[in-house]
Amino acid sequence: MTLLKEKITFGTIMGVVREYFVMTIGILLYTFAWIACILPAHGTGGGATGAALVLCGAIENLFNFQINIGTMAFIVNGILLLFAGFIIGWNFGIKTIFCIIVLPASLNFFQETLPGVQAWLAELGVIPPDAISLFGNLEPLLLVIMGGMLSGVGIYMCFRQGGSDQLRPCRAGDRFAYHLCIAAGGQRHRDGDLRLPADGGIRSEHRCVAGGQPAVESDSGHQP
């Protein structure tokens, strides 16, 4: 049985709370951008949320049956999670599960509440009664741009909390990972490994071992 090497302190607990708080704010900002900006402008985007938006519109037009975007996003993410589990492995972090649960709930929350807020603002005379969004009759192109900026900030906030200064092993020690290394420009070395130089400013080396577990080495030679 593995024992905890680090003593749990108040600072450690507050650090974890801060991470999840920032991630929650980022998810709320991301989902608000989709429901308040992109959806009223009849726009779409990439990722599971964009696919969910397209699928919801298609189901409503074909079968006259309405599904909340958050519910469809949860289904899409669940399917992708299953594919990733069978192909790469089931070693998902708790933060990934947290985002997959909170994001659909936040989408459904804003989809249910923002129309009421828009009607309330129209009654107060803040926006016209026939406004297309909370921001009045703003041009759809500007709404999409605003939504893209807000959602980008939200994604950045989430990614920052899950960031790492080292590459992690992908745990796909099979021919699938081997061919991924080749497709990404890996070069064969004399030791029989395929090596990929790290991107960005991350100074570590990702080695995809043919027929075995991929390994990660940092500058100091440490191998997790």
pLDDT tens digits, 139-157 = 999 999 999 999 999 989 9
Q: What is the pLDDT of residue 187?
A: 52
Backbone phi and psi for residue 92, each to the nearest 5 degrees, phi listed first: -85, 145
pLDDT digits (tens, 9 = 90+) for 171-180: 334 444 444 4
pLDDT digits (tens, 9 = 90+) for 16-28: 899 999 999 999 9
Query: Which amino acid type is present at position 22?
Result: V
Per-residue pLDDT, averaged over 84-101, amounts to 80
pLDDT class for 161, splitting at 50, 70, 90?
Answer: confident
Residue 185 or residue 114, greater confidence: 114
Residue 208 or residue 121, greater confidence: 121
Is residue 108 within 8 A of residue 56, CB to CB? The reply is no
- The answer to whether the predicted template modeling score (pTM) of the entire model surpasses 0.75 is no
Q: What is the pLDDT of residue 82?
A: 86
Residue 9 or residue 37, greater confidence: 37
CA-to-CA separations, 81 to 159, 173, 182, in angstroms, rounded: 18, 19, 24
Q: What is the pLDDT of residue 83?
A: 85
Helix (H) or strand (E) holding 159: helix 140-161
